[in-house]
């Protein structure tokens, strides 16, 4: 006899399914509550704490003290090593057994002297598979070590993610035990999750939405959580939906595992080394269990770190790279800033990166991979083409504050006409969780529908590392070819771009810079880092030129290739997109400045100029003629080389100064403002009438969120001029080869600005050397932004 159909109410049915898999409600009787079976405590747990990041071999020789779950450890940036003694019950034979570990901080499990998996609650990695099927003959007692870094995926900010680190933060261990993991329950939870999302997100007007909802409801009816023998039939019901295929015209999503790791940001460089190891060893474990899984990874510097610190892991990575599954991408030394480095540094990023990938993996990268940089110079397509790269991937312009970028797949043309094929993943992220909502957004958000039918989806926890999880892979597997959803296939960058290139003739072209409408403040934040970068770029250029001269002069001279490569790589590392822009914590800025200070090594000059008598060697290392005043340090202090009759600096009656050298004339008023900057032959004024240059002004600097990163448009409404003269204009060097004037301004009660204006003989430009003793008021309304606009005619 047929049972009468039951009228289903959509809302109550949806909520019924939600509660059946909820982590919060009814876990005593729902499916989620059956994910773990029996449990038992650890045989023993002990700990050793250190302020150093030490290798495993050293750590295991230390003296450990007994600890327990609930204890707190360390302070920020310390490391806690845990010795974990396990004894698996004999009655668990045939079961999948996990070590369940929940703690604050980032952990890595060591087994038999090798790293085997990362642990982080933020990255949904809180258990380690000891065995997926315990056998009688398997060892039931073993010892593991957990290396716990006292920082999270996103550092240890006090009060907010981007706040300075909290030096006194403590890290607790909430759970450490052995558990039986019910894999069949896990599979059913993923089934329910995908069906529930399909029901909610496809909409009430979509037939597949109701099919998914009704199937999920039937599964709840059939599933007896106390009787695992019902689980297979429940899973079959889900497969009946997932097995219904798409049509040929459905959008194809190229899914690739990804783990964006900032080489430094809210944590120092040294911690990034461990982040790479924690993330990548977890990727390797996933590859061993999921043969279809592919993973892309950029930044040659990070590969070199892992090679030096974790050689066993690195060898395994090379093995999977040969299989085409662990895929190096990007071609650069790091994911650098896209605007501030010089053109030569941009080229060196590719030179050092591609050289490393060729040597270590036997191939060059075919695509430039820069998903998180604050804008992209129009010079980059030319640089890419010169390095054999014609493909480009990013997503950062999805962060634009005002204008939505009009394309996801397009041809990007640089200032010289060079072109590359560019792709922005339409989900606007490089750290997807592999859920239905993201796949639907990838299709809906694609601004080039009709032109292309392929796009990328990069999945895995990122920024602070973490990477993909088994649950993400299980979700994607169910969406491989399910009617109503886009087709999701595990792919590679080459397969993606090959598909896009077939449709290239239909694509639009964007000419010029890819400007990010956000984080404009990073052009000035941590000015010393930017100064150090430019000085070291110049220094390395000069060292290479002088070394070449020295080699030409003396065949016995040893060209310092290895040392130069080392120094270039340090400089390129500091050009990472959160270091050079200054969007990093102070600890990283200190590391960067230490690297810069180690580059002041003029050894080629010493080698080339060794002779019987001391002498001065003046060399022009630039490819054009220069006439400059050169300071000479001697027993009597700094002097200048040359004659003494080129410059004259008369002090006017009103306290203003006129500086001229036959090429330019500079007029300074009593506040040090430039009222006239004139090219004398032919006569041409640069400062517009009624304006003045070098006028110091202050603005309120209160962004919407990213403090020290952003300069918002409304700051222009708070303009105040700095007009309190503390020390009047004084001529320091009255003329000859160099003339200079100094003055001081009061910015605020405790802040003073002192500037020296310098004009040299035969020099077509004027220089400003400014020092600020800056003490800001901690009241948020009084954080000033100091600026000196210079309005000029540009011909």
Q: What confidence tens digit (pLDDT) does each residue in 656-710 have? A: 999 998 899 999 999 999 999 999 888 899 999 999 999 999 998 888 888 889 9
533 domain residue, yes or no: yes
Q: Are 333 and 352 in contact (CB under 8 A)?
A: yes
Q: Are residue 735 and residue 778 in the same domain, yes or no?
A: yes
20 domain residue, yes or no: yes
Q: Are residue 658 and residue 728 in the same domain, yes or no?
A: yes
621 domain residue, yes or no: no
Q: Are 141 and 69 in contact (CB under 8 A)?
A: no
Sequence-distant (6+) residues with CB within 8 A of 662 are 646, 680, 681, 762
- 28: domain range? 10-32+186-242
For the ranges 180-189, 660-669, 709-718, the one whose mean pLDDT is highest: 180-189
User: pLDDT tens digits, residue range 213-244?
Assistant: 999 999 999 999 999 999 999 999 999 999 99
Q: Are residue 93 and residue 177 in the same domain, yes or no?
A: yes
Q: Are residue 454 and residue 590 in the same domain, yes or no?
A: no
Q: Where is the domain boundary, 482, 516, 550?
A: 516
Tell me what the mean pLDDT of segment 426-434 comes to: 98
Comparing 172-176, 386-390, 496-500, 749-753, the range with the smallest average pLDDT is 749-753
Nearest to 44 by CA among 6, 74, 83: 83
**Interatomic CA distance for residues 309 and 321, integer angstroms:** 19
User: Would you please indicate which residues are annotated as catalytic (active-site) residues?
Assistant: 372
Q: Which value, to the nearest 10 degrees, does the dihedral of the CA atoms of residues 369, 372, 378, 381 take?
A: 0
Model confidence at 653: pLDDT above 90: no
Position 734 confidence tier, pLDDT thresholds 50, 70, 90: confident
**Interatomic CA distance for residues 134 and 95, integer angstroms:** 5
Q: Are 545 and 560 in contact (CB under 8 A)?
A: no
Q: Where is the domain boundary, 466, 487, 516?
A: 516
pLDDT at 780: 42
Q: Give the CA diameter of the chain.
A: 116
- DSSP symbol at 93: T
The two structure tokens encoding residue 114: 């090798």
Tell me what the mean pLDDT of segment 597-616 comes to: 61
Position 603 confidence tier, pLDDT thresholds 50, 70, 90: low
Q: Are residue 288 and residue 203 in the same domain, yes or no?
A: no
Q: Are residue 655 and residue 764 in the same domain, yes or no?
A: yes
**Interatomic CA distance for residues 530 and 345, integer angstroms:** 13
Nearest to 525 by CA among 684, 740, 703: 703
Q: Are residue 234 and residue 259 in the same domain, yes or no?
A: no
The position carrying tokens 């997503």 is: 395
Task: Please confirm whether the linkage preceding 546 is cis (ω < 30° from 0).
Answer: no
Residues paired with 323 in a beta bridge: none
The two structure tokens encoding residue 203: 């909409």
Model confidence at 777: pLDDT above 80: no
How far lies 180's CA from each of 23, 137, 435, 575, 576, in Å?
A: 18, 18, 26, 47, 44
User: pLDDT tens digits, residue range 15-46?
Assistant: 999 999 999 999 999 999 999 999 999 999 99
Q: Are residue 455 and residue 552 in the same domain, yes or no?
A: no
640 domain residue, yes or no: no
> 251: how many CB neighbours lie within 10 A of its CB?
20
Model confidence at 189: pLDDT above 50: yes
The position carrying tokens 């073993």 is: 142
642 domain residue, yes or no: no
DSSP 239-256: HHHHTSPPPTTS-EEEEE
**Interatomic CA distance for residues 643 and 108, integer angstroms:** 67
620 domain residue, yes or no: no
Count of structural domains, the chain: 5
Instruction: Name the strand (E) or helix (H) holding 640.
Output: strand 637-640
**Burial label, 224 (beta-carbon count in 10 A; 0-12, 13-18, 19+):** exposed
CATH number at residue 580: 1.20.1270.50
Give percent of the chain above pLDDT 90: 83
**Interatomic CA distance for residues 284 and 279, integer angstroms:** 9
Q: Are residue 495 and residue 368 in the same domain, yes or no?
A: yes
CATH number at residue 70: 2.60.120.260
**Interatomic CA distance for residues 478 and 461, integer angstroms:** 20
User: pLDDT tens digits, residue range 144-170?
Assistant: 999 999 999 999 999 899 899 999 999
pLDDT at 370: 98
Q: Are residue 428 and residue 507 in the same domain, yes or no?
A: yes
Question: Taken in order 207, 210, 214, 217, is the CA torsion positive or negative?
Answer: positive
Average pLDDT, the chain: 93
To the question of pTM greater than 0.85 for the whole model, the response is yes
Q: Are 28 and 22 in contact (CB under 8 A)?
A: no
Q: Are residue 464 and residue 318 in the same domain, yes or no?
A: yes
Q: Are residue 201 and residue 164 in the same domain, yes or no?
A: no
Give percent of the chain above pLDDT 70: 94
First to last CA, the chain: 92
Q: Where is the domain boundary, 162, 181, 200?
A: 181
633 domain residue, yes or no: no
45 domain residue, yes or no: yes
């Amino acid at each position: 006899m047929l049972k009468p159909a039951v009228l289903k109410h959509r809302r109550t049915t949806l909520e019924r399914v939600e509660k059946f898999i909820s982590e919060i409600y009814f876990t005593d009787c729902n499916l989620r509550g059956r994910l773990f079976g029996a449990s038992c405590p650890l045989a023993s747990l002990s700990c050793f704490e250190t302020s150093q990041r030490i290798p495993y071999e050293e750590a295991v020789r230390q003296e450990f003290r007994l600890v327990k779950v609930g204890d707190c450890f360390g302070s920020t940036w310390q490391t806690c090593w845990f010795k974990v003694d396990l004894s698996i019950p004999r009655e668990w034979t045939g079961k999948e057994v996990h070590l369940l570990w929940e703690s604050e901080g980032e952990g890595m499990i060591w087994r038999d002297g090798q790293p085997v998996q990362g642990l982080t609650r933020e990255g949904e990695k809180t258990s380690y598979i000891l065995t997926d099927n315990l056998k009688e003959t398997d060892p039931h007692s073993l010892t593991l070590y957990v290396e716990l870094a006292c920082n999270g995926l996103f550092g240890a900010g006090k009060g907010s993610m981007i706040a300075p680190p909290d030096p006194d933060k403590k890290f607790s261990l909430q759970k450490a035990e052995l558990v039986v993991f019910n894999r069949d329950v896990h599979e059913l939870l993923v089934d329910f999750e995908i069906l529930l999302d399909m029901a909610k997100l496809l909409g009430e007007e979509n037939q597949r939405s109701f099919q998914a909802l009704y199937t999920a409801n039937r599964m709840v009816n059939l599933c007896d959580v106390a009787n695992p023998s019902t689980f297979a039939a429940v899973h079959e019901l889900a497969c009946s939906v997932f097995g219904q295929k798409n049509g040929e015209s459905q959008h194809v999503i190229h899914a690739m595992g990804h783990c964006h790791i900032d080489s430094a940001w809210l944590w120092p460089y040294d911690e990034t080394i461990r982040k790479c190891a924690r993330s990548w060893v977890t990727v390797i474990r996933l590859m061993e269990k999921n043969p279809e899984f592919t993973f892309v990874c950029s930044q040659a510097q990070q590969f070199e770190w892992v090679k030096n610190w974790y050689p066993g892991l690195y060898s395994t990575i090379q093995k999977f790279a040969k299989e085409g599954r662990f895929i190096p991408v990007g071609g650069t030394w790091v994911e650098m800033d896209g605007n501030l480095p010089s053109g030569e540094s941009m080229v060196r990023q590719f030179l050092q990166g591609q050289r490393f990938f060729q040597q270590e993996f036997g191939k060059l990268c075919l695509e430039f991979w820069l998903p998180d940089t604050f804008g992209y110079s129009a010079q980059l397509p030319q640089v890419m083409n010169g390095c054999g790269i014609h493909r480009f991937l990013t997503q950062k312009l999805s962060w634009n504050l005002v204008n939505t970028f009009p394309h996801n797949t397009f041809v990007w043309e640089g200032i010289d006409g060079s072109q590359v094929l560019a792709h922005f993943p339409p989900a606007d992220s490089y750290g997807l969780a592999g859920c239905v909502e993201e796949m639907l957004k990838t299709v809906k958000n694609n601004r080039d529908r009709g032109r292309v039918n392929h796009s990328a989806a990069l999945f895995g926890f990122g920024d602070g590392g973490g990477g993909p999880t088994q649950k993400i892979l299980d979700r994607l597997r169910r969406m491989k070819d399910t009617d109503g959803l886009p087709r999701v296939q595990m792919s590679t960058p080459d397969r993606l771009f090959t598909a896009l290139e077939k449709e290239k003739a239909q694509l639009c072209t964007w000419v010029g810079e890819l400007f990010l409408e956000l984080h404009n403040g990073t052009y000035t934040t941590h000015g010393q880092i930017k100064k150090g970068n430019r000085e070291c770029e110049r220094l390395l250029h000069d060292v290479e030129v002088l070394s070449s001269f020295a080699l030409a002069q003396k065949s016995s001279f040893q060209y310092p290739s290895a040392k130069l490569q080392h120094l270039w790589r340090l400089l390129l590392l500091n050009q990472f997109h959160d270091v050079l822009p200054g969007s990093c914590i102070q600890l990283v800025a200190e590391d960067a400045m230490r690297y810069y200070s180690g580059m002041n090594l003029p050894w080629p000059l010493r080698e080339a100029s060794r002779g019987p008598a001391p002498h001065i060697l003046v060399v022009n290392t630039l490819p054009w003629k220069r006439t400059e005043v050169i300071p000479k340090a001697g027993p009597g202090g700094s002097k200048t080389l040359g004659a003494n009759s080129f410059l004259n600096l008369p002090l006017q009656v009103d306290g203003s100064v006129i500086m001229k050298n036959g090429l330019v004339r500079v007029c300074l008023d009593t506040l040090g403002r430039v009222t006239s900057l004139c090219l004398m032959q032919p006569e041409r004024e640069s400062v517009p009438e009624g304006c003045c240059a070098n006028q110091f002004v202050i603005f309120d600097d209160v962004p919407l969120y990213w403090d020290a990163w952003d300069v918002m448009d409304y700051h222009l409404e708070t303009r105040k001029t700095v007009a309190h003269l503390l020390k009047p204009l004084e001529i320091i060097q009255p003329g000859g080869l160099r003339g200079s004037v100094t003055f001081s301004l009061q910015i605020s009660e405790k802040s003073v600005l002192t500037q020296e204006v310098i004009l040299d003989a035969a020099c077509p430009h004027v220089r400003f050397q400014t020092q600020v003793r800056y003490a800001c008021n901690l009241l948020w309304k009084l954080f000033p932004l100091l600026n000196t606009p210079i309005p000029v005619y540009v011909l």
